[in-house]
Structures are given as structure tokens and as C-alpha cells.
Amino acid sequence: MAKKKTKFVCQECGYESAKWMGKCPGCQGWNTMVEEFEPSAKQSSRSYVTSGAAQGTKPQAITTIVSETEARMSTTMVELNRVLGGGIVPGSLVLVGGDPGIGKSTLLLQLSAKLAATNEKVLYISGEESVKQTKLRADRLNVSSSNLYVLAETDLSFIERAIDQVEPALVIIDSIQTVYQDEIASAPGSVAQVRECTAAFMKIAKTRGIAIFIVGHVTKQGSIAGPKLLEHMVDSVLYFEGERHHTYRILRAVKNRFGSTNEMGIFEMKELGLEEVLNPSEIFLEERSKGAAGSIVVASMEGTRPVLVELQALISPTSFGNPRRMATGIDHNRVSLLMAVLEKRVGLLLQNQDAYLNVAGGVRLDEPAIDLAIALSIASSFRNQVTSPTDVAIGEIGLTGEIRRVSRIEQRVNEAAKLGFKRAIIPEKNLGGWSVPKEIQVVGVPTLERALEVALGR
């Protein structure tokens, strides 16, 4: 009998080695290398088949292939449809990741109920909870439909048999770390098991036209556990994130073969489950305190949707040799850069000041168009001068102090006018070429110094 080959695989990043090592060369993690049996060539070839075509299929010229529009299944959840690119594509494999307790299972159970209400069969497979536990959650969420089937199983062969019996349009696997194949000697959740089981689900999705959502655990760093190959195999990767001290949850797509990756869906966690937030700008601004220095509103783009959020800054003299730079919701390196521009180009002495910046509502902003709002909030707090509560600032700042143009300026200003703002401070290069709403005044500024004169009166 042939001897089984073994290898050592890092359970954090998937790095493989022929011998054990205390520290993984890939992710620098300690004691993450675990011995696993290498799957045979027969098992690997069976797992990685992604289509039902015969091996003798001939290459085709791309001009002879008939293009077809993918028919999507609407979830009746506007926010989820937006992130997915318009709905669920049959035959797609979607990976959903997020911190424990953030609401992944709640979101997918509500998705199952919405789709089951449209007379589509849904199979919800839980490897972490019993059928009765899933039923208790369904009762709490008022989920009840004869088209929703529930199964508590972790063996891949039994899961495949259940899919054949039910013939669903959607399958949910919660979670992929609990599913295992008998042919693989590794424990459930190991790199080999996760890779092979995901490949098997990919084959089921592509050959039978069934949409499959799989839940993936995350590591301490916030990335999806298991090999990076896992994210390459699936069609879409969704991250469900949010602060534990806030009720708002944000769904983002970091990979999507059927739509944009710039979209964002916002939900609010309530007693009866997740509720969609169709106008997030009003939510993020409802608790804004007027008349406080260091506060200003910025219009940021999340995909095709403009979102207005409040930026807050607190500048105070430092008590230590090195001033502190802390930022929540924005890149602290960008904050340090903008403070250097304010000191060099405008003359604000900030080198002996502590700086604390925050984006209200737990949202994270990472586009350059928020630079002007950051600079204005810092200057407002440093000078203790209050900005107008009806002002909104939009613009990118260069190292020479110039205000550079931004994209989708018309959508940003229209959203600000809709919410009652009276003045928008924007880059001078963005003036012209679009119609300004009557309810709002648009002021174009060429430099950061001019923007401070307009916003703070100098």
C-alpha cells in the first residue's frame, strides 16, 4: 500500500511546507503550521471540475459565442440587490464574511425568507446550529415559508444528496469551516477541507445553475480565514461589517464578477432583524450638534450613491514630546499629510497639537474628495471658530495647497440640496458643465487658503 504524503499548511494564510516551522514565512504567524495529508490526484481532479463539459471540448472563437444577459433573481431587498449588482445570478457562488455576531446568519435567513416568498425553493444548511435553533431564530425574525427548507449537516456527501432532493434555486452554507469530505483526512476547517469543499460547491453551482451563498469565518486581522485561493474561486466576496457599539451594519463587495465593487448597502439591526436604511445621510446627520467648532459635513460617494456624513476634529495642545494623531473612519496617514499642508501653506502651527478625528456613525471613508472637509474641521477646531451648519465641503487637496477636482460633483451637490444644505464649497475646476439646484449656493475655491476664508471668514 502506497504511503500517504503529508505536508504542513498554515491555517491562517495557506502557506505550504514540507517540514514543520514555528513561524510561518507567509503571514509571520506563530504555531499556525498543521500537518495535513495531501489529497490524491483522483480526488483533486474530481473536486476542481467546474463545468459539465466533456474533456474533449474544443476552443471557440469569441466572435462565435452568443452573449446572453444573465437573468437575476430579485431579493426584494434594495440594499442587497445594489451590492450584488442587481440581484442574485443563478449559478453564482458568493462568499460572505464578517466578525462573529455581526449578523451574517440573520441577513442570510432574511434573504432566504424574501426569496422563498417569491415561490423559489431555498435550502438553508447550518453546520453550527441544530434545526430547532434555526427555527427559534426564524420565529424571532417572523420568517415562515413552506418553500424554505432547513438542514443541519456537515458531511458534504449528505449535503449534495439534500440538494438533489430539494432542487432549490438558492443554497446557503453556514459555514464553510464546518463542512468536510470523508476522503480528506484533515479536520473540518483546515485549509485542505475548506479548499476542496468550496471547489465541490463551485461545481454544483456551475453545473446545476444553483446560486450558493457560503459563510466564511474571519481571522483576528479581519480577513476571511483559510487560503487566499478561497476568494479567487468564488464569483463574489461580500464583507458584512459594523461597530459593536452601533446598530448600523454595512455590506460591501470586495469582488463581484457580475457588478461593481464600489457599492455599499446599509442596514440597521433591530429587535426583529435587519432593516434596510434607504437614506443613510439622514441617519448619520440626525444627531449632529450645531454650533460646535471642528464639525463639518462632507458628501462622499459610495459606489453610485452619495452619502453625507459628519466629520469631527478635536485639536488640543500636546502634553508630551510627540503629538498624537488619532483617526477613526479615515486614514490617519492622510490626516498627518493634510496637517503638514495646513502648517506649510496656510501657516497654522500644528506641530505641537494633538489631533483626534472621527467620522460620526461608524462609517469608513477612503476617497480623496474628503480632504477639504478634513482640513476645514482641523482648522475650525484649532481656531475655535464654528463653521456654518448648512455648509458642505467637497474637494481633494494637493501638496501645494491647491483644491483639485472630484468626480460626480453634481450628484453630491444634489444630495446636499435635498437634505437642506444651503452652501457647497467645491473645487473651482468643478464649476460649469452641470446645472446647480436653486436651493443651494455653490462656491468654487482654487486653494486651501481661499477655502478657509470662505468657511471660517478668516
Instruction: Tell me whether residue 65 is in a domain.
Output: no
The answer on whether 97 is annotated among ligand-binding residues is: no
Confidence label for 349 from pLDDT (cuts 50, 70 and 90) = very high
Residues 387, 273: one domain? Answer: no
The answer on whether 100 is annotated among ligand-binding residues is: yes
Out of 213, 243, 278, a domain closes at 278
The answer on whether 438 is annotated among ligand-binding residues is: no
Q: What's the CATH number where 325 sits?
A: 3.30.230.10
Task: Give the single-character DSSP code of 387.
Answer: P
Q: Name the domain count of the chain.
A: 3
The answer on whether 103 is annotated among ligand-binding residues is: yes
The answer on whether 105 is annotated among ligand-binding residues is: yes
Confirm if 306 and 444 have CB atoms less than 8 A apart: no
DSSP string covering 338-358, please?
HHHHIIIII----TTEEEEEE
Q: The dihedral of CA 21, 26, 28, 31: what is its sign?
A: negative
Out of 278, 293, 322, a domain closes at 278
Instruction: Tell me whether residue 309 is in a domain.
Output: yes
Residues 330, 385: one domain? Answer: yes
Instruction: Tell me whether residue 52 is in a domain.
Output: no
Residues 395, 256: one domain? Answer: no
Instruction: Tell me whether residue 66 is in a domain.
Output: no
**Phi-psi domain of 231 (left: phi exceeds 0; alpha: psi -120 through 50; beta: other):** alpha
Confidence label for 117 from pLDDT (cuts 50, 70 and 90) = very high
Residues 240, 341: one domain? Answer: no
Its domain, for residue 33, covers 1-38
**β-pair type (423-427, 441-445):** parallel
Contacts 24+ apart (CB under 8 A), 439-444: 440/413, 440/416, 442/413
Q: Give residues with Cβ within 8 angstroms of 64, minimum separation 6.
A: none
Confirm if 443 and 454 have CB atoms less than 8 A apart: yes
Q: What is the pLDDT of residue 51?
A: 44
Confirm if 180 and 193 have CB atoms less than 8 A apart: yes
Instruction: State the DSSP H helix or E strand holding residue 425, giving kind and residue range, or none if neither.
Output: strand 423-427
| Residue 69 or 396, more confident | 396
The answer on whether 259 is annotated among ligand-binding residues is: no
Instruction: Tell me whether residue 67 is in a domain.
Output: no
Residues 238, 351: one domain? Answer: no
Confidence label for 277 from pLDDT (cuts 50, 70 and 90) = confident
| Residue 9 or 55, more confident | 9
Residues 306, 249: one domain? Answer: no
The answer on whether 127 is annotated among ligand-binding residues is: no
- pLDDT tens string 254-271: 899 988 887 888 898 888
Mean pLDDT confidence for 364-391: 94
Instruction: Tell me whether residue 63 is in a domain.
Output: no
Out of 241, 262, 278, a domain closes at 278
Instruction: Tell me whether residue 51 is in a domain.
Output: no
Residues 177, 291: one domain? Answer: no
Residues 273, 404: one domain? Answer: no
- pLDDT tens string 386-416: 999 999 999 999 999 999 999 999 999 999 9
Q: What's the CATH number where 155 sits?
A: 3.40.50.300
Length of the chain counted residue by residue = 458
Share of the chain above pLDDT 90, in %: 55
Q: Tell me the C-alpha distance between 397 and 401, whole Å.
A: 6
The answer on whether 51 is annotated among ligand-binding residues is: no
Residues 251, 342: one domain? Answer: no
Instruction: Tell me whether residue 322 is in a domain.
Output: yes
Q: What is the pLDDT of residue 107?
A: 94
Residues 324, 198: one domain? Answer: no
Residues 330, 376: one domain? Answer: yes
- pLDDT tens string 309-318: 999 999 999 8
Whole-prediction pTM value? 0.74
Buried b (16+ CB within 10 A) or exposed e, 234-260: bbbbbbbbbeeeeebbbbbbeebebbe
Residues 240, 267: one domain? Answer: yes
